[in-house]
Chain A
């Protein structure tokens, strides 16, 4: 008997595996029918999952942990048996800030430690001149985007709470806000960085794997009690995501994947930008998330989020020591997804 599951998602490139699982009938083949419901904010995704309006949701990995720990607006035990992707975020800065960073950089601008120190010099000179602090956008308090920005800032010995302003800006407003000069930079996922470049509003400074290697980005989250009482569905769905990741990894499926994303994940992207066809996506180094074998693994029972393990002061909320690695080898030349 086919079971029908309602899954909430935010229209982003990394919701791809859910769309593939549905469109390529991987879920149906495992006995579950999925209904994908687009939503406009991470707060909605959280509330609707917790209140039972969704059976599962495409969720920021840190948001799922925050809900389980009860350190955000709401506490409810969640489980995330399968990751929907690794990496995919990037830090984009305004053209003005990019030029400034280039002038101040003592070393290779591809190295986040170099740009962070350059940023610290810019912050210091702005403060001396009595100018307003630089403002950076991210997407949600509990998001890898937020932490990646903080890690980068701390690599330059900047205090993210004192030396700059960190604000949440909904991704659809991000490019516009950057262009208006209300933001000096932001950390978002695909396709928004590429759009900022296409609109000539900013330059991609760092892809986030240069700051944190293989960062879990979105997960497929369930309410814990629901997951334990619906083991078959959870297993089927996790399996379907695994099938979808193998399908999406096959080079021959690239065009179909692009078409699928155009009609689903990028629906917020205005039609003119989309139809240009010249949007170039530099694959996040080293490879798109779904190519990573760790993503789409099907360990259904092994990854509930245990509140105890993280202790009472979540270190990842304000990382004490930045652990930034050196620059990667230059990424491959831009390719069209």
Chain B
């Protein structure tokens, strides 16, 4: 039975790194270490001596790893996932997800593939989550703007709430705008005329 793979995760986004770490642990990988993307990266990696390094593509430290493998190629050291070009689909998916992997030379592909696949899917899941959060946040902002504008219209025209909302919706439809945009225009105008 081969020993546990040591996996290092270099990601400056702590939330995403945590999601990935949790996934790797759930898949039975016990030695997962998160490394901050700092100036001491190289020393940390030397100390950990990982079999697999997963790194966020946004990290400028990728170039630091490149040098490390260049220098110590005589010993068994990680090489970029991209060396093995037999799996173009995985490489494409990794770039799209924004992650790269370095893997110890000679490690069997079937041991590493599930790790890389899991990393890609967690990165994608995180991106989806982030997008949903942004959508929810912008919906909430819209909601607030509409409520504020509605109150302004109610006060200015002395009309009830439903009527104010109907008026705004009518304007939005006529001008082919979103009701939130109409609301923001009302707020801006009200501040200007105050």
Contact = CB atoms under 8 A, between A and B. Distances in A.
B66 A47 contact: no
Interface stretch (B21-29, B52-60, B132-140, B165-173): B52-60
Contact of A170 (B40, B64, B100): B64
B66 A51 contact: no
A141 B67 contact: yes
Given A43-B62, A168-B64, A72 B70 contact: yes
Contacts of B58: 40
Contacts of B191: none
Interface string A25-49: 0000000000000001111100110
A182 B39 contact: yes
Contacts of A170: 60-61, 63-64
B92 interface: yes
Given A73-B79, A182-B39, A48 B95 contact: yes
A40 B39 contact: no
A42 B60 CA distance: 8
Find the residue from B64, B80, B83, B95 having the highest chain A CB count within 10 A: B64
B66 A43 contact: yes
A273 interface: no
A44 B57 contact: yes
Contacts of A139: 63
A43 B61 CA distance: 10
B146 interface: no
A41 B91 CA distance: 17
Nearest to B60: A170
A172 interface: yes
B82 A47 contact: yes
Contact of B80 (A42, A74, A169): A74
B63 A140 contact: yes
Nearest to A168: B67
Which bucket holds chain A's interface residue count? 20 to 34
A51 B92 contact: yes
Contacts of A53: 95
B31 to A, nearest CB: 25
A329 to B, nearest CB: 35
A74 B83 CA distance: 5
B115 interface: no
A310 interface: no
A178 B42 CA distance: 16
A318 to B, nearest CB: 12
A56 to B, nearest CB: 16
A187 B60 CA distance: 17
Given A48-B95, A167-B67, A177-B39, A73 B60 contact: no
A74 B42 CA distance: 22
Interface string A163-178: 0000111111100110
A69 interface: no
Interface in A65-81: 72-74
A118 interface: no
B66 A168 contact: yes
Nearest to A39: B57
B95 A141 contact: no
A286 to B, nearest CB: 30
A173 B66 contact: no
Question: Which 4 residue pairs across A and B have the least CB separation, nearest first?
Answer: A170-B60, A168-B67, A41-B62, A73-B80
Given A43-B100, A73-B79, 5 more contacts: A43-B66, A43-B80, A47-B100, A74-B83, A167-B67
28 contacts: A40-B59, A40-B62, A41-B60, A41-B63, A42-B66, A43-B63, A43-B65, A43-B80, A51-B88, A51-B92, A53-B95, A72-B66, A72-B70, A74-B80, A74-B82, A74-B83, A139-B63, A141-B71, A168-B67, A170-B60, A170-B61, A170-B63, A170-B64, A171-B60, A173-B38, A173-B39, A177-B39, A180-B39
